[in-house]
């Protein structure tokens, strides 16, 4: 089984509020003690918390139910009951939580960020709150309110500086393995990559950026074909996009246009991102063929040539990426 999980659905229930106390003072030397009951404690919250050390929802894969503690009942001497313990669900940065209707509850964008998914029930009021001139010894208190309950859907969208976009076998995994310490599976058949891979790319003067190898797009992916929406959503969270067109493609510019159209069909805002076009596997080309391929593209969309196998053009490619990220 893959160790990358990007979708989890969990049943959650926050804590019930504690009941208020209806205690009456009965000390020996206080003949008219009156109401003395404290309020009930709040039920525990269900809280989503960002964890920069996590990169997958795998730890939640087999979590079916999450339940927070009930608040304690109020006590005598107007003591408020203890709050129920909150339950924290640690998720990677880039995780979105939705309710059963698909509405977004919150989004984790940084390590340590906390979002309350379900509020604990409010504690009941003690009888101290109900005394009046006409009812000086109320013998009743308010019960606590129930907590919230329902299913929460967690979706992870990878946060990376550069997202690799291309058809299967475009050379994305080879590039990632060549410029980072990531070791993605590489083979000469379609959809070798079934889960996104992340790699930290070292740059000049001890600088670095994060590159994400997104599973290959096929024509019609925006309609759910192939891996479809499951991985197209990861492309949304990348700062820039690097299109990879293999050197052995029959029509390089047309392949780029198909990829561009799939992104547009899925989310038109993706085309507002900065992008770089590249021709992978350029070790298969001589200088004359490179000129012919470059001529297929408009002047403002000229591709960069590189080979993840021989290392040709990788320095220039990293320079172009860094310039786009920090230009």
The single-letter DSSP state of residue 131 is -
Judge whether 191 is annotated as a binding position. yes
Judge whether 314 is annotated as a binding position. no
Judge whether 2 is annotated as a binding position. no
Tell me the DSSP string of 281-298. Answer: -GGG--HHHHHHHHHTS-
Judge whether 169 is annotated as a binding position. yes
* 3-class state of residue 187 by DSSP: coil
Judge whether 177 is annotated as a binding position. no
Judge whether 216 is annotated as a binding position. yes
Judge whether 172 is annotated as a binding position. yes
Judge whether 31 is annotated as a binding position. no
Judge whether 121 is annotated as a binding position. no
Judge whether 274 is annotated as a binding position. no
Judge whether 84 is annotated as a binding position. no
Judge whether 301 is annotated as a binding position. no
What Å distances lie between residue 313 and 42, 291, 306, 309, 320, CA to CA? 61, 15, 4, 11, 11
CA distance 95 to 73: 35
Helices (H), the chain: 172-179, 229-235, 252-266, 287-295, 314-326
Select from 88, 81, 252 the least CA-distant residue to 170. Answer: 252
CA distance 303 to 169: 18
Judge whether 95 is annotated as a binding position. no
Judge whether 194 is annotated as a binding position. yes
Cα pseudo-dihedral 191, 197, 203, 205, rounded to 10:
-170
Judge whether 282 is annotated as a binding position. yes
What Å distances lie between residue 303 and 84, 227, 285, CA to CA? 59, 27, 14
Judge whether 137 is annotated as a binding position. no
Judge whether 171 is annotated as a binding position. yes
Judge whether 213 is annotated as a binding position. yes
Judge whether 239 is annotated as a binding position. no
Judge whether 210 is annotated as a binding position. no
| Residue set of the binding site | 166-173, 191-195, 213-216, 280-283, 307-309
| Residue set of the binding site for Mg(2+) | 173, 193
| Residue set of the binding site for GTP | 166-173, 191-195, 213-216, 280-283, 307-309
């Amino acid at each position: 089984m893959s160790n990358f999980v990007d979708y989890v659905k969990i049943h959650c229930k926050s804590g019930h509020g504690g009941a208020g106390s209806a205690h009456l003072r009965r000390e020996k030397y206080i003949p008219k003690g009156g109401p003395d009951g404290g309020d009930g404690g709040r039920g525990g919250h269900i809280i989503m918390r960002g964890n920069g050390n996590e990169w997958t929802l795998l730890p939640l894969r087999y979590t079916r139910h999450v339940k927070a503690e009930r608040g304690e009942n109020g006590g005598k001497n107007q003591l408020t009951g203890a709050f129920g313990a909150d339950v924290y669900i640690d998720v990677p940065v880039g995780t979105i939580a939705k309710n059963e209707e698909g509405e977004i509850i919150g989004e984790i964008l940084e390590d340590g960020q906390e979002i309350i998914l379900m509020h604990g029930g409010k504690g009941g009021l003690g009888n101290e709150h109900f005394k009046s001139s006409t009812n000086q010894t109320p013998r009743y208190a308010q019960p606590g309110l129930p907590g919230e309950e329902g299913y929460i859907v967690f979706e992870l969208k990878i946060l990376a500086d550069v997202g690799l976009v291309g058809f299967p076998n475009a050379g994305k995994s080879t590039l990632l393995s060549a410029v980072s310490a990531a070791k993605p599976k590489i083979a000469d058949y379609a959809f070798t990559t079934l889960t996104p891979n992340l790699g930290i790319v070292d740059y000049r003067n001890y600088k670095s950026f994060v590159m994400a190898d997104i599973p290959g797009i096929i024509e019609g992916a925006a309609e759910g074909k192939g891996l479809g929406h499951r991985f197209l959503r990861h492309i949304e969270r990348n700062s820039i996009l690097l299109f990879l067109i293999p050197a052995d493609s029959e029509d390089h510019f047309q392949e780029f246009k198909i990829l561009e159209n799939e992104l547009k069909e899925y989310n038109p805002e993706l085309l507002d991102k900065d992008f770089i076009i590249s021709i992978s596997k350029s070790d298969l080309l001589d200088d004359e063929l490179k000129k012919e391929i470059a001529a297929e593209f408009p002047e403002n969309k000229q591709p960069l040539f590189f080979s993840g196998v021989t290392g040709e053009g990788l320095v220039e490619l990293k320079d172009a990426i860094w310039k786009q990220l920090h230009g």
